[in-house]
């Protein structure tokens, strides 16, 4: 069975790992959290690219991975082209803000996107926006909000800061023309944000649909690796967690969000 590497700046990619383990219980996953260098979203493009290249080399050399899931919107936006160029023999699966599904799901055409500054300012995100808008038969109204501090608050599991950052950024998203209809769909364009889903949902109200990318990425990984679907309810298999920084925070996050007690090793 294949070994699949997964990396993110920190705990956020666990939201993708959760979907991957449910979809592919037969696969051994090696999850690497680069929390010594988080948050990626507020770092320069060059730093994120250097880290992505370094982590990929490490996962290949030390864990002999057969494919790599870049479980981070920021690293995908800033590094996936270079990763594919540097490692042409390794299949990569990236994540991008779920604008395409949101465009299908929205009823009134008003969509909000929350993502990191690095993602929002990237050329790749601009292309995604353009592509999705161009393929719609009706006009789409997309508001984009860079969410400084939100991933970091989630990383630190600081509930008060998560609430404050989420409320601030949603208010920014709504600011402006008071006559504009409210959004009915909100894209969680950073893999950390599903872990603030309850807070975001309560701030937006029950009528707003929150969309993330965990499950589509897991399905794409299965297709790319040409693996069978397992019967629902199959127990997820073993996995390895590695961290470049504070190991206990990743252990707490895994126990809280994956429901497993697992020891994190130093990367």
Q: In this chain, which stretch among 67-75, 106-114, 157-165, 223-231 interacts with ligand DGL, using CB under 6 A? A: 67-75
Show the site string, 150-179: x = touches ligand DGL by CB under 6 A, - = not.
-x----------------------------
Question: Smallest gap, in angstroms, from Cβ of residue 78 to ligand DGL?
Answer: 10
CA distance linking residue 223 with residue 226, whole number of Å: 5
Place of tokens 């929150």: 210
9 interacts with ligand DGL by CB under 6 A: yes
99 interacts with ligand DGL by CB under 6 A: no
Question: Smallest gap, in angstroms, from Cβ of residue 74 to ligand DGL?
Answer: 4
Q: How far is CA 202 from CA 134, 170, 171, 214, in A?
A: 32, 11, 13, 21
3-state secondary structure of 194: helix
What tokens appear for 134 in the block? 């161009």
72 is catalytic: yes
Name which position in 4, 20, 52, 72 contacts ligand DGL (CB under 6 A).
72
Name which position in 56, 58, 119, 249 contacts ligand DGL (CB under 6 A).
119
Cβ burial, residue 172 (10 Å; 0-12/13-18/19+): middle
190 is catalytic: yes
Of 190, 209, 217, 258, which is the active-site residue?
190
Angle CA 72–77–81, to nearest 5: 110
CA distance linking residue 8 with residue 78, whole number of Å: 13
Name which position in 191, 243, 244, 249 contacts ligand DGL (CB under 6 A).
191
147 interacts with ligand DGL by CB under 6 A: no
Angle CA 258–261–267, to nearest 5: 90
Question: Smallest gap, in angstroms, from Cβ of residue 9 to ligand DGL?
Answer: 3
Strand segments (E) across 84-199:
92-93, 110-115, 141-146, 185-188
Question: Smallest gap, in angstroms, from Cβ of residue 69 to ligand DGL?
Answer: 12
Under the rule (CB under 6 A), what is the footprint of ligand DGL? 8-10, 12, 38-41, 72-74, 116, 119, 151, 190-192
């Amino acid at each position: 069975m294949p070994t699949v590497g997964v990396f993110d700046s920190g705990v956020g990619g666990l939201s993708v790992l959760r979907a991957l383990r449910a979809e592919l219980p037969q696969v051994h996953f090696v999850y690497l959290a680069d929390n010594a260098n988080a948050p990626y979203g507020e770092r320069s493009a060059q730093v994120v690219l250097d880290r992505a290249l370094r982590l990929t080399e490490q996962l290949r050399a030390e864990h002999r991975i057969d494919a790599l899931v870049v479980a981070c919107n920021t690293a995908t936006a800033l590094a996936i082209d270079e990763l594919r160029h540097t490692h042409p023999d390794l299949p990569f699966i990236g994540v991008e803000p779920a604008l395409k599904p949101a465009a299908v799901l929205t009823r009134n055409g008003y969509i909000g996107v929350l993502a990191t500054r690095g993602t929002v300012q990237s050329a790749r995100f601009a292309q995604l926006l353009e592509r999705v808008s161009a393929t719609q038969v009706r006009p789409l109204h997309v508001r984009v909000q860079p969410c400084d501090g939100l991933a970091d608050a989630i990383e630190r599991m600081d509930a008060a800061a998560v609430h404050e950052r989420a409320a601030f950024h949603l208010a920014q998203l709504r600011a402006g023309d008071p006559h504009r209809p409210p959004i009915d769909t909100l894209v969680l364009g950073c893999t950390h944000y599903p872990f603030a889903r309850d807070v975001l949902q309560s701030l937006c109200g029950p009528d707003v649909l929150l969309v993330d990318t965990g499950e589509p990425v897991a399905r794409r990984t299965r297709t790319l690796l040409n693996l069978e679907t397992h019967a629902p309810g199959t127990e997820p298999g073993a996995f390895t967690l590695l961290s470049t920084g504070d190991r206990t925070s990743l252990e707490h996050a895994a126990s809280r969000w994956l429901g497993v007690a697992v020891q994190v090793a130093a990367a």
